[in-house]
Every structure is written in C-alpha cells, then in structure tokens.
Amino acid sequence: MPARSRPTSSRPRAENRSRRWAGPCIAGARILTLPARRPLWVCRAGFIGREGVLTVTQAVRARLIGGLIPSLAIVTALLIGGVIIWASGPRLDGPWFGIWFVVEAYQALIEGAFGSRASTIDTVLRTVPYVFTGLAVMVGFRGGMFNIGAEGQLAVGALASAWVGFTVTSLPLVIQLPLVLLTGCLAGAIWGGIAGLLKARTGAHEVITTIMLNYVGGQLAAYLLNGVLRDRSPLNVIAQTPKVAETARLPDLVPGLHSGVILVIGVAVLVWFVLWKTTTGFELRMVGINPDAAAYAGVNVVRRMTWAMGASGMLAGLAGAVQVAGVNYRSTLGFNVGYGFDSIAIALLGRNTVSGVVLSSILFAALRTGATKLQFRTQISTDIISVIQALVLLMIAADQIIRWIYRIGPAQTEADPVAASTAPVADSESGR
Amino acid sequence: MTRGRFAFIIGCIGLLIGGAEVLRSPDVSASIVAASMLATMLRFATPLTLGALAGLLCERSGVANIAIEGMMLSAAFGAFIGAAVTKSLLIGVLAGMAIGVAMATLHAWLSVSLRVDQIVSGTVINIMAAGITGFLSTEVVRRQALVGAGLLPALRIPVLADLPVVGPVFQQQPIAWVALVLVPLTHLVIFHTPWGLRLRSVGELPRAAHAAGINVIRTRYTAVMIGGAIAGIGGAYFTLESVPAFEPLMTNGRGFIALAALIFGGWTPAGAWAASLLFGAANALHINAQQFGIPVPAQIVGMFPYLLTIVILAGVIGRVSPPSAVGTPYEAD
C-alpha cells in the first residue's frame, strides 16, 4: 500500500467531534461531558464543536470561518473577472479610467438576475436543477465517491420520466405526477448505482465508469429520441419526445414558477436529515472518510458505496424529471449538457454541506441568468461567467491560494470528504 | 497489455469493418466502403492516440489525468490563434504545444505541489479550459475577425498511397504521422530507458523511488508537462488538421474518450493506440452507416466502446490495473 500522508485513523474522530448540534448522537458513542462552572442553559443552547461545548457566539463564529474561504474565493474571482471585463471594455478611455464600465457590467449582471419579477423567477428556475445535481454530487462525495456522471444520470432520468409522462394519459395528477418523478429517480438511481456497485465489487474507479456511463447515456438518449420516443408530429424536426400529459406536469406555484421549488426544499432537508441524523447516513459518511475503518467497525461497505452512488444518481435523475415535469414538459437531446461539471463546482464550492450547496446553486444560477443582460448591455460574452466559475473553483480546490492572498493560517485538520474521496481509490487499487 | 487483449481489439476492429462490408447496401462497392471506413477510423483515432499517450505519461508517473480534454481544447484554441496571427501552421502547432504544456503545468502545480485531489484538479482544468476558450473565442476571434491559416497538407508515401483499399493509410496529414511515430517512441522511452524506469517506479511506489534517490516531484512534473505537449499536438489536430476554425467546446469529449482508450489499452502505448483505432472504427461505422445504407442503429454501435471500457475496468474480460500510486499525492518528508 502506498504511504498515505494524512493519518487516516484519526479522521472518524475528527469528523465526530465536528458535529455541532448537541442533538441525539446516533452511532457515535460520544458521551457529552459538560465543563464545570457553566450555567446549564449554555449547554441547552450550545453546540458540540471542535473544542467541546461551544456557546452560540463561538459556534456562529466557527460557521462564519467555515464560509470565509468560499466567500473570499467568490470575491476574488469577481475581482479578477472585473479586470477581464475592464480589459475587454473601453479601458482607460472610459469614465473613471474604465472602472465605471466594470461597475455597470456587474450592475447589469445583478439586475439581470434579480432586477425584475420575471428575472428573479428565471433565477429560481435555474437554481432548482442545480440544487438537485449539486446535492447528488455532494452525497457521492460524502460516501467517498466522485460522481462525474450527473449529466448522464440526469439524461436517463429525464428520458424515463418523459416516457411515463406521455405514454400514460389516463391517471389523475395525484398519481401520475409522483409516478413520473419516481420513474426519473429510479432511472437515475440505476445509472448511478451501476457505478457504485462496480466500484464496491470490482474496484473499477467510479470516475471512469461514470464518464463512460455519460456517453452510454448520451448514445442511448440519441437512439431513443431519434427512434421509439421521438415526437412524430409533422412539425417536429429535432430529437425530442412529445409533450407530457397535463397530469404529468408540476402545477405552477405562481405564474411561471413551478412547484418543484417546494420539492427541492423538501429534498434538501431530507438529504440533510438522512446524512446527519440516521444510521445509514452516518455509515455512509464513515465509508467516505475511511472505508477500511468503516469495514472494521462492521459497516457493509459494498452496500453503502452502492447506496451512495444510487442516491447520488437518484437525485440527478430527479433533477431531470423535475425539468421535464416543470419546465420543458419533454426531454430534448442534449439539454443535460453542462450540468455534470457545474454540479461538481457547486458541491465543491458548497463544501459538501446542504446549506452550502443551496447557496452556491443560487449564486451559479444568478450568474448564468444575469449574464444575458450583461451581454446585452456591455457586449461582453456570457462566457465570462464560465471564466469566473472556473476561477472560483480553482481557488476552492487550492485554498492555499486564498490563504496566501489573505494571510489566513493553514487549514484545520477537519475531515475533508474531498480529500477522503481519493482514499478508497488508493486502497482498492493497491490492496484488494 | 497482453497479446490476448491486443488480438481481441484487432478482432473487434475487423468485426466492425467486416460488419460494414457485409451490411452495406448492394449498390455500393466493397472497396469504397473499406477505404472510407479506414480513412474515417484513422482520422478519428489521431487525437485519441495523442490524448491517450499524454494521459499515459501522466498516469504512469502517478498523476491521474482527466484533464486531457481541457488540455486539448485550450491547445486547439492556442494553435488556431498562433497559426492565424503568424500565418504559419508550424508556429500554430508549436503554440498549441506551448498552451498544452501551460495547462499541464497548472495541473502539476495543483496536484503535485499543492496536493489538491487530482480528479478535482483535472475538473478545474476542464472547466477553466471550456470557460476561457469560450470567452476568448468570442472576444478575440470575432472582434478582430481572425481567419484561420488553413489546414496542414496531407503527406503521402508515393507508391503505397495509390493502392486501392489501404491507400488512405499511407496518405495522412502530419499530425497523424506524428501520432504514429509517437506510439513506438513512447513505448521505447517508458519501457526501455532509465528515465522510463524511474517514471514507472514513481508511479508505482513513490516512497521507494524516493529512497532510491529519484526526485519524485520533479519526475512527476516532467512527465505531466511532456504529456501536456503531446496533448497540445492532439489539440492542434482539431484546428489545423480537421477544420480551419475554432469553435467553443470543439473537442467534444474526445479527451475523455482518449482516457477510455488509455484504460482499455491497459496503460501501454501500443494498447492505447489499438484502443484508439477501435474507438475510431466504431465511430467510422457510426458516420458511414447512413451513407452506405448500413442497417445498424448507429447509436447502439457507438455505445460499445464505452460499455467495453466499463467491462474491462470491472475485470470481466481480463483485468487491467492502473499504476498503483495514481491518485495519491506524494509528500516528501
């Protein structure tokens, strides 16, 4: 076995200690000992932090520091993006030596994302699939699996749900809509679960298998959308399914905004609950941090890995189903392209926490929605957003850069699921 | 790379081309179909071979490389700009190589020096390449109305290129020839030179290599950067040999397919090349199916290479194992 740098044996303990809420401690056999001379109410309103029991203020501060690096990365990326915008504008000839141009550009970006009712709804509509796919990648990371296949899982989810949506026409909405969504989940779960099962049983690296499954999914979609699932109406000229039945569509919450927004909130809470409040979630995170230790502790690693990728694929498939049932009402060839990498960026920026994923999804959706107005007003290509995203991701991945720029001390030894995601790889390739 | 696997791949290629021959519509002559299949296969295989060789050097040194796609895409852009500005195709290729090396250096800096997860680092490079080339191509190319400098001319071997069916094999553009030369060259370097031995030892057991006096960090940097240069040639293929223009995302996932070819070929140059040809043959069938009235569902055929890669990776037909240290950052004490 190759020498591993980090002392992996200490990871589960570190993870256990970083649980903040003093809620029911599930599988961790940690006994809460209260420091002396501290009024009891502090414990009630307190948190278990790295240093034992924290007061509310201390816990809030810990949270803020946790979000500090992502925030600084965003700010820095926007600043560098500003320099790029400045360089593509009138430069020194503009008012304020061209700085005003940058201000106007960012103003247009914000207006484009939140300036009117319609644009805000647009941003929210874009946020929904980002949250689902971001959570998908996050669940994978927490289970030690790097899911690059959200794109393919989303595609098969959308295909399956569209198929059920337009072939079944005689059911009432309360039955058909859940059926459509669940079919999408199931298809995605199968697509992701294959990669999980292969990883757990044979050691086939999930990064490669999910990339391959993306292509298989893409070809399958091309085959079906040009064949049996194609919309045969004479007006249709592209590879897409017919529109789904009225009873397979998510009803509007307000005009233009489908009720998938409520679903996404529910799913986010559910993911948080399952990962942090159930034995399954605890075992999953344990496998993600150190599969050997988890196996030693009696966790069925094969089952948990499959479960992690299945759940991950399920969330991505649900993203596809919600896009079909709420936005497009059909599945079109290639509409899934781009979600795979965006979702990885979202999960990494969100530090693999549910709240982080939701916040980064809103950010990415706002940037993408606002970019149109930015291009309209300043003639700067919408691709500037991809550049800013790439910069954010670069600085998140290598947080040494941010720590160096802003003179922040070295990282705490917090359990890092991203770093841990490579650990099982090394093991399966050298050991078994 | 076992002989069995090699034979298996050659057999698959034969099956695909033979299948095209058998299933072609009767009013097309057999030699036209074969020639077209061969030409398309070789054309498609060129960037795959180069990408796979780039990944091979990288992964043999213990650095996972899913960034081939990003390296090739940015190199394609660099080659286009270099050629369009200087009106010299050779400088275009060199510019592509330089950009490839630059992206590879970033990958090495992130994953070797900063010890970022290698897959994350690769993802960053892929996203960054897509974003920056997309932005620059609209800003620079459209505003300054850059026109491409044309395509590299085909080099033909006099007599052989006139042969009826196998003619296309002996009439290819320079980058395709470079790819063919690099396959045995890489094999020689990796398996028959001291540097290659060091490279492999760093990829298998870096701590032992370190103890034997090998500079692990420097070896990995060198390997990744040479890989970047090869990926750069592969990227130049897209804008200097395929079409004389740059379009955003024009590599269209070939980098990932190259990665699949690398794995399929069991991390050996010859295997990677054979696998690239197989992927090329599947693509040729896909492309020629309609033209020659071959009644196969092209997309189903198109799936096979990927499914086979999964199957091979899972060890169902013959196990391949990556260099053991792939994915693990090395920390010197």
Q: What CATH number does residue B193 fall under? A: 1.10.3470
- Asked whether the predicted pLDDT for residue B190 surpasses 60, the reply is yes
Token duo for residue B76: 């394609």
More confident position, A55 or A21: A55
- Asked whether the predicted pLDDT for residue A127 surpasses 80, the reply is yes
Given pLDDT bands bounded at 50, 70 and 90, which one contains residue A273? Answer: very high
pLDDT digits (tens, 9 = 90+) for A132-187: 999 999 999 999 889 999 999 999 999 999 999 988 888 888 888 999 999 999 99
C-beta separation of A294 from A286 below 8 A:
yes
pLDDT at A315: 96
Amino acid, res. A99 = I
Residue B329 resides in a domain: no
Backbone angles phi, psi at A117, to 5 degrees: -60, -45
% of chain B residues with pLDDT over 90? 43
Backbone angles phi, psi at A332, to 5 degrees: -115, 145
Residue B328 resides in a domain: no
pLDDT at A54: 62
C-beta separation of B30 from B164 below 8 A:
no
Q: Is A283 helix (H, G, I), strand (E, B) or coil?
A: helix
CB contact (8 A) between residue A386 and residue B131: yes
Q: What is the largest CA-CA distance in chain A?
A: 80
pLDDT at A43: 43
Burial of B175 (0-12, 13-18, 19+ CB in 10 A): buried
pLDDT digits (tens, 9 = 90+) for B261-278: 898 888 899 989 999 998
Residue B331 resides in a domain: no
Residue extents of the structural domains in chain A:
1-54, 118-379
CB contact (8 A) between residue B134 and residue A381: yes
CB contact (8 A) between residue B128 and residue A394: yes
B3: left (phi over 0), alpha (psi -120 to 50) or beta: alpha
Residue of chain A with shortest Cα separation from B262: A208
Backbone angles phi, psi at B171, to 5 degrees: -140, 85
| Nearest by CB: A2 against B131, B205, B303 | B205
* Nearest in space to A247 (alpha carbons), one of A176, A187, A314: A176
* Nearest in space to B179 (alpha carbons), one of B37, B89, B9, B51: B51
- Asked whether the predicted pLDDT for residue B195 surpasses 60, the reply is yes
pLDDT digits (tens, 9 = 90+) for A185-197: 999 999 999 999 9
> What average pLDDT does range A272-289 have in this prediction?
92
Q: For CA atoms B137, B143, B144, B148, give the dihedral sign.
A: positive
- Give A205's contacts in chain B (Cβ within 8 Å): 313, 322
Q: Which of residues 25-44 of B touch A (CB under 8 A)?
A: none
| Distance from chain centroid for Cα A68 | 19
Spatial neighbors of A22 by CB under 8 A, at least 6 apart, are A32, A43, A46, A47, A48, A53
Q: For CA atoms B63, A141, A305, B263, give the dihedral sign.
A: negative
ipTM of this complex prediction, to 2 decimal places: 0.85
Residue B152 resides in a domain: no
d(CA A158, CA B218): 47
pLDDT at B265: 86
pLDDT at B17: 80
Count other C-beta atoms under 10 Å from residue B23's C-beta.
15
| Nearest by CB: A223 against B110, B118, B300 | B300
Residue B40 resides in a domain: yes
d(CA A188, CA A219): 16
pLDDT at A50: 47
pLDDT digits (tens, 9 = 90+) for B56-95: 999 999 999 999 999 999 999 999 999 998 888 999 999 9
- Number of domains within chain B: 1
Q: Which of residues 117-146 of B touch A (CB under 8 A)?
A: 117-121, 123-124, 126-128, 130-132, 134-135, 138-139
C-beta separation of A370 from A109 below 8 A:
yes
Count other C-beta atoms under 10 Å from residue B29's C-beta.
11
Q: Which CATH architecture has domain A118-379?
A: Orthogonal Bundle (1.10)
Residue B237 resides in a domain: yes
CB contact (8 A) between residue B138 and residue A381: yes
Burial of B287 (0-12, 13-18, 19+ CB in 10 A): middle
Mutate to test the interface with A, among B59, B77, B109, B124 (most CBs of A within 10 A): B124
When computed from its CA atoms, the radius of gyration of chain B, rounded to whole angstroms, is 20
Given pLDDT bands bounded at 50, 70 and 90, which one contains residue A129? Answer: very high
Given pLDDT bands bounded at 50, 70 and 90, which one contains residue A18? Answer: very low
- Residue whose pair of structure tokens reads 């399966």 in the numeric block: A428
